[in-house]
Structure 1
Amino acid sequence: MSVEMVFGFLVGVTVCALAVPAVRAVQRRYERRRNTAATEENQVSTISQALHLAFQGSPTGATVVDRAGDVILSNPSAHEMALVHDRTINAEVWKVAQEVFEDKETRSLDLKISQRRTGHRVTQVQAVVKPLTLNDDRFVIIYGSDESESVRMEAARRDFVANVSHELKTPVGGIALLAEALLEDPGDPAHVEYFGTRVQKEAARMANMVNELIALSKLQGAERLPEMEPVRVDDIVTDAIARNQLTADALNIELTAGQPTDKLVMADKSLLVTALSNLIVNAINYSPESTPVSVTKKVVGEHGKEIVLIRVTDRGVGIAPEDQKRVFERFFRVDKARSRQTGGTGLGLSIVKHVVANHGGNLKLWSRPGTGSTFTIELPVYNEIPLLNDQNPAGTPVTLDNRLGAAVVARANSRRKDKA
């Protein structure tokens, strides 16, 4: 009896040992078939699918509305350009659409978009409103194109000409007068040295102003925006502090950096380092000797919609409330005497404002006279989203196409429920 039990036990162990690999092989084969089927389901197989993806992925905003003002169809670009918000058509666009419903004539309008959130870079939109078809007068379609870059570049050209013609008159006139004084007594070494030094200083100031005017003109749109890439916030802060360390040491001002963060932002590194450096220079110039200037970082918001705050804080003289609204204007100086003493041109903060705006960020100021000032740069955090390796709950590879399709299906289902 014991021999039979041992024999049966050995047979059972052998069968299990052979069955486990077989079961695993069947499971792997089943998984491969399921993934293959899921991949085939995600592929574009009909013309309607191709048209749908082309419409939803178009960089041109497009939305269709009926006579009641209900949004029948829209793509993500239309929402980005504020043609549609929360399934409601833009009020200005709807006013023009009503006229198109009446006479079936194509119309266009320019929309100026206020910045709604950090990271939003569309400021100017041209909308074209026309009947969807002349055979059915129940619908109109609105096309939107982002004209922000073109408007920005044209405004920059106008401002550059105005700034150069106005602001360079003073140093040029000063150099002419100094040169005239220098020639009155060229044989006096002390006379020559004094006025020669003044001419050299004014020439350097004018060269600095020209360089900053050119930089500001580029930022405002005289050139297209540079290609952005992910950059570590800590590297930007470290480089900006290093650029101003000698100036701070000469005034016995301690530059301190806050706790590091591993966050990334989409940026042109050199521009952001320049902008942050301008804020640090400004803090140093308006701080008493032996006082600290701090640069801190803080991340706010939820994952995927995070914003990094870079703050530059000084313990200086502060800025009066009536001047705080004007500090970012070109050539505005709170303290003209101090600005001349430090060689400032009045363009530094304006450059910062445009650099931050070109990165889809915001620039804020808090200041109290006698206490100090804090300038805050707000930038959207860059989060890389893998599209091919993620798995959804059902095990289907997540791609850009089926993410978009799911969003559209959800919106369509919501619309059906509302109408029901």
Structure 2
Amino acid sequence: MILKLMTMASTCAQLCLRCRSHLCSKTLTSMGKYYAQVRHCNTVTKVLTKISNGLFMWGNHTTLQTSLRWKQHMCYYSDLTAKYLMSEAKEDKHTEDLVRTDVVCPAPLLPTRDVVLMTENQVSFADLDAVAELSALEEITDEEAVGISSPSVVPPASTSLRDYVDKSETLTKLVQLGVNLWKLEQRPHVGSMLLRLDFNKDVAPRLLFLKEVGVEDSRFGYIITRNPFILTESLENLQTRVNYLKSKKFSSETVASMVSRAPYLLNFNVKRLDNRLGFYQQQLGLSTSNTRNIVARLPRLLCGSLEPIKENLKVCEIELGFKANEIQHIVIAVPKVLTANKKKLTQIFDFLHNTMKVPHYLITKFPQVLNTKYLRLRERHCFLEYLGKAQYDPTLPNYISLDRLVSLPDETFCTDLALATLEDFYLFQKTL
């Protein structure tokens, strides 16, 4: 019995070998057609690895597609042969993920030419990107030209106005006028305000107005650097304030000088200007002409705060001991006393009155000493005292005027007052 089974098995094996050789002879003929396709597919990195219900999934091994095509051609013949081939393909390491031993392929899943066509199309995708890039010399239509977006010539944001100077006509013209943009950009919101201005509509009319008032062209840069907001004031308001000053008997030359030295003067309305003039006239007991005189010489008295001025007036009266008429005389002679630093003012007075022994009436007679530098006053007095010539009483011989003491240059001071050489004075300064 066993011998009979072995004989039948041998016969079946021989039959299978014959069928296999028969199939191989037919398969070789069909495989020749696709040899070129197989070689082409071997150069592609991603190919079909599984086909199910018309859906494609891609893998990384090119040999899998070759095995798949082999399987598709083998499935045309018989169920028995397909099972036999799949059982052998199971041992192949390249096809173990594709088949199972009990799978039967009654019909081809997809024509091979479709697979090859998709692979070729996939290869051509990489070439399409290179073709899509247009040459810089290629002509384009008007519609395409309109659709091209270009970056803005003005930076969207910056911490400095210098990035906008080349792109803004207003900033360029302001620089040519002598405006210091680096000072303006440090002030909040001034930089953005200047960028919004149009030179022909906003800046030029105000410059022409200043020129008509009598301001020199060389002062435009100084005025705008210190008061850029004058460029946003209406011309009507500016003209109204100029007319008010002229109505108070300020001459055209005086108004032009005041505007040049006090850039904020025309930013204040008429009511404020009138209140300031009234304050100085009443507080100091000045006449109209004297009030006009001190304001014309120091126009920033109309612009600044009144609190420091009130404080200095109290210092002169209470701490320094000056009388009302003496304060009036000092202010008329030296208006800067009203805006002087309180510490500096008291320091100079203390040295004059307590060290140099100068009485109040002499300080009132020569109020310029209150506006001098403390170091200069100290050096010159000490040098005269060293030489034995520090005599400031006009009733005594060898009297030295306080005015000449602080106003003369060093060389004249040495030759006329100290009767010494300039080198001696410099050597003495080193001992202080």
With normalisation by structure 2, the TM-score equals: 0.19
Which protein is richer in strand relative to its size?
Answer: 1
With normalisation by structure 1, the TM-score equals: 0.19
Q: Which has the higher contact order (CA 8 A, sep 6+)?
A: 1
Tell me which structure has the larger Cα radius of gyration.
Answer: 2
